[in-house]
Chains A and B, each alone.
Chain A
Amino acid sequence: MKKKFKFRFTRRAFAYPYMIFLIVFVVVPLVIILINAFLDDANKFTFQNFVEFFTDAGGGLTVLGNSLIIGLVTTLICLAIGYPVAYLLAKYHANSRVFVLLFILPMWVNFLIRTLSTKAIFMAMDVELGMGTVLFGMVYNYLPYMILPLHTTLCSIDHSYIEAAEDLGADKMTVFLKTVLPLSVPGIVSGITMTFIPAISTFAISEILSSSKIFLFGDAINMHFSKTTNSFGVGSVMSLVMLVLVVVANVIVNLTSKDEEAASVL
């Protein structure tokens, strides 16, 4: 007996358009990248692209290292700034709507416009464009992505835990370290992923805020794909490396936050 595929108009049918979209614009491009990574200029099978990238012939590994470090530092700064902000916003929840809005407002401005304006401000202030300005731009752009998940998690903490801790005689510091901080870990993890992953693949921010002097991994991929011809191979290898990093980051997130809560935030 063979089962015949029959199209039934069930609720599931509403998901088909998006499934098709996913296949065409996510799965197919990934397969193309995978194929390209193994092709040379004459479209023949080769490992040369990998060799070139992993032997650091064009400085690709150095660029990756720099990007990882800058991404890490951006994330740490975002966390250091974002956590107190999210904490305060959550603490004064009732009248903080306006403040939350103030933090989200910049996100509604297109990030290219924001970054170009930042550059203009730096130029007007005679600040030399370089690593510092790039880092500033990254923190400025990715801060909301850190604050929002933190804010959500901190708001959802049941206040009775804190009261219980206080009742049991814990001082403010201990209340924070023993209840709030552990309970907000899912938010921290999701904030870190939401900041770190885009931060290591950024290219427009570094391009604008350093006049293209600071060359990051995203810039390198961009260069291999757009400014030159026939360099899709190495570019694809770089993209694959990027993809692996994303997957690794996700695995780490899933390992550290087995809570259902964390999954729901993610």
Chain B
Amino acid sequence: MKKFLSLLAILLLVCLFGTLLTACKEEEKDSLVIYNWADYIFDDKLTDFKQYYRDVTGKNIDITYVTFDTNETMLTRLTKGDSNVDVVCPSEYAIQKLIESDMLLPMYYFDDDGSNEGKKFTEDFGSDIDREKYVHNSGNVEQGIIDKVSDAFGNIEITAQGGNKGKTVSMVDYFVPYMYGTLGILYNKYAFMEAEIYDAELLNRANWGILFNDNGNGELLSEKLTGNILMKDSIRDSYAATVFYLLESGALEGLTDENGVAYKDMPVGELINTVDDQLLDKVKEALTDQKAQLFGYEVDFGKDDLLSGNAMVDLAWSGDAMYAVEESWNDELEDYELAYYVPHSTGNIWFDGWVVPKTCNPAHLAAVKLFINYLNRPDVAAANLYEIGYSSAVKSEAIKSDDDARAVLAENYVVYAPELWDVTDENGDPIPQDECDFASWEEFELYFFHNSYVDDDGETVSYDEISDSNWRYPFESAALNADNYRNIDSLGVMRDFGAQNKAVVTAWNYTRSAGVNALPLLGYTALAVAVVVGLVYVIILVKRARSHKVKLRDRE
């Protein structure tokens, strides 16, 4: 199905470029081609951007919006070199690959002071851009993300042939973060209650072991979990989850990498990027053992299986999980059936960000940069945040302190906040306070940014001490809830597998093929065939004997 979709996307892309090229010659309009994930922007914001563009430059702009469904589709498209797209939004490891292949233009969004060989983010802006109206929004981006990316991708070596070969660059100069999310465990809360494992202490001890039905001491977490675990059909995510599990379960105790550094002493970010043969063997072993506990591997049917009770737990990304949780509202239980849990001590965090391929149309560069900067405006970020469900790279203070952004959230989440919006339904009738989903902005802010509420005693408490279902601002909720405490240092960013890619693919292929043995099947079939042939033969023999007898009798 994915293949079909990507084929469709490519077809569309081809058609769009075809029409675009002819259209350009006819009209005096600026244009911009955006290549993004499907469902990864609040659609109205594209129209709003056209308006904004007109305000700033006095010109109209045509936007061509094309989507992709996997980083690999996008990479294939871009590396072919004929893709005329101006701005792309890949994940961090795909950006790493693009930088290594020297396919991206540096932007210097975060140091726009000309310190980079005199190059500035705004240098492509022509005279028709109203500098008064342009606000550089780089300050709105969460510093923690920039630091994380600098740590993990600060020294990328360009390996492609050409003038830049061997140069070391930092990803921060090339990309502007857009959304981020975490890897975690999506589970059916009520199934967990039934299995009597819905307990903070138990789950925190089991940690990533939940996916392996291991309670943290090498014993089964619950017999009911056997055959009800889903794993993501994705090498990268499964690898990360397994490494964390190995670390947490103590399987890496006493093991060191080739430089003699103990795995358990490595920071998380370093550990998941240490893909050596020893670790790979361990991962392979754990994943193979895990198969006995699995319901199966999923690509996009995981949510349905969890809701229908086919499976109890799945490895999931925060945005998918958030969407699944919101979809899982059960009127009878008056609760969400699904919940999302991110183990406290280790985890994986990823980023998607905007980059500009070298094959872009140079005449579109100003529009590209205006667009990227526009997305970091608090109200635009708030709308995208609401629409997409992942965490926005725009920091929460910027959103909380911006009236427009608050208005966007208040309206979409139906918050009773007359100071922000006019609190009316679609017919224009006012909504009374007790019919709003949130009685005040303060209540909403506690829920949305901190996953908490004020109880009857006036204390701020977490909605659920196990579940981290509200992971829009994970580090904010961490700061407010001791129960949910985790810090950004415990989350590692994963790089591309690089030279080990082949070994990892081989290991994954091995894991997937293990545990399936069709030989007994052959045995049974051979047996069945033998029985049938034997029966037929016996029947024939009996018949022959009988007719022989008849003949003998006739002769007599």
Contacts and interface: CB of A to CB of B under 8 A. Distances in A.
A56 to B, nearest CB: 9
Given A66-B516, A171-B543, A229 B501 contact: yes
Interface stretch (A7-15, A156-164, A212-220, A244-252): A212-220
A229 B72 contact: yes
15 contacts: A60-B513, A62-B513, A67-B518, A77-B525, A171-B543, A177-B540, A212-B298, A213-B516, A223-B512, A224-B509, A226-B3, A227-B235, A231-B501, A231-B502, A234-B506
Nearest to B510: A59
Contacts of B127: none
Contacts of A77: 525
Contact of B501 (A41, A59, A70, A123): A41
A228 interface: yes
Contacts of A229: 72, 75, 501
Contact of B512 (A52, A65, A67, A215): A215
Interface of A: 41, 52, 57-60, 62-63, 65-67, 69-70, 72-73, 76-77, 80, 112, 123, 128-129, 131, 135, 171, 173, 177, 210-215, 219-220, 223-224, 226-231, 234
B513 A210 contact: no
A134 to B, nearest CB: 10
Given A171-B543, A227-B234, A227-B235, A59 B3 contact: no
Contact of A135 (B75, B521, B532): B521
B453 interface: no
A63 B547 CA distance: 51
Contacts of B512: 59, 212, 215, 219-220, 223
B506 A226 contact: no
B509 A72 contact: no
Contacts of B72: 226-229
Contacts of A219: 512
B227 A228 contact: no
A119 to B, nearest CB: 9
Interface stretch (B187-195, B256-264, B288-296, B360-368): B288-296
A62 to B, nearest CB: 5
B477 to A, nearest CB: 33
B345 to A, nearest CB: 29
B525 A76 contact: yes
A241 to B, nearest CB: 14
Interface string B436-478: 0000000000000000000000000000000000000000000
A123 B227 CA distance: 13
A58 B507 contact: yes
Contacts of A63: 509, 513, 516
A211 B298 contact: yes
A37 to B, nearest CB: 14
Contact of B502 (A41, A215, A220, A227): A41
Interface in B218-268: 227, 230, 233-235
A219 B298 CA distance: 13
B510 A58 contact: yes
Interface in B131-164: none
Contact of B505 (A67, A129, A231): A231
Nearest to B513: A59
The 7 A-B pairs of least Cβ separation, nearest first, read A211-B296, A59-B513, A58-B509, A212-B297, A69-B518, A58-B506, A66-B518
The binding surface of chain A is classed by DSSP as helix
B522 interface: yes
Given A212-B297, A215-B513, A69 B506 contact: no
Contact of A123 (B1, B230, B308): B308
Contacts of B519: 69
B421 to A, nearest CB: 43
Contacts of B517: 66
B513 A228 contact: no
Contacts of B507: 58
Contacts of B233: 212, 227
Contacts of B308: 123
A215 B516 contact: yes
Contacts of A67: 518
Given A171-B543, A210-B296, A123 B310 contact: yes
Given A73-B522, A219-B512, A173 B539 contact: yes
Given A223-B509, A228-B235, A231-B501, A70 B296 contact: no
Contact of B294 (A60, A73, A76, A213): A213
Given A69-B521, A229-B75, A60 B509 contact: yes
A58 B517 CA distance: 15
Nearest to A177: B540
Nearest to B522: A69
B2 interface: yes
A70 B518 contact: yes
A128 B505 contact: no
B291 A213 contact: yes
A220 B539 CA distance: 45
B233 to A, nearest CB: 6
B145 to A, nearest CB: 25
B38 interface: no
Contacts of A135: 521
A171 B296 CA distance: 53
B407 to A, nearest CB: 42
A230 B2 contact: no
Given A72-B522, A80-B532, 14 more contacts: A41-B502, A57-B510, A58-B509, A60-B509, A73-B522, A123-B310, A131-B516, A131-B521, A211-B297, A212-B297, A212-B512, A220-B509, A224-B505, A226-B3
Contacts of B230: 211
A229 B93 CA distance: 12
Contact of B296 (A59, A213, A228): A213
Contacts of B501: 41, 228-231
A70 B505 CA distance: 24
A224 to B, nearest CB: 7
Contacts of B431: none
B529 interface: yes
Contacts of B513: 58-60, 62-63, 66, 215, 220
Contacts of A66: 513, 516-518
Given A66-B518, A123-B310, A173-B543, A230 B502 contact: yes
Contacts of B508: 58, 223, 228
Contact of B506 (A52, A76, A211): A52
B227 A73 contact: no
B11 interface: no
A234 B297 CA distance: 22
A59 B502 contact: no
Nearest to A209: B296
Contacts of A226: 2-3, 72
B535 interface: no
A179 B543 CA distance: 18
Nearest to B501: A230
B14 interface: no
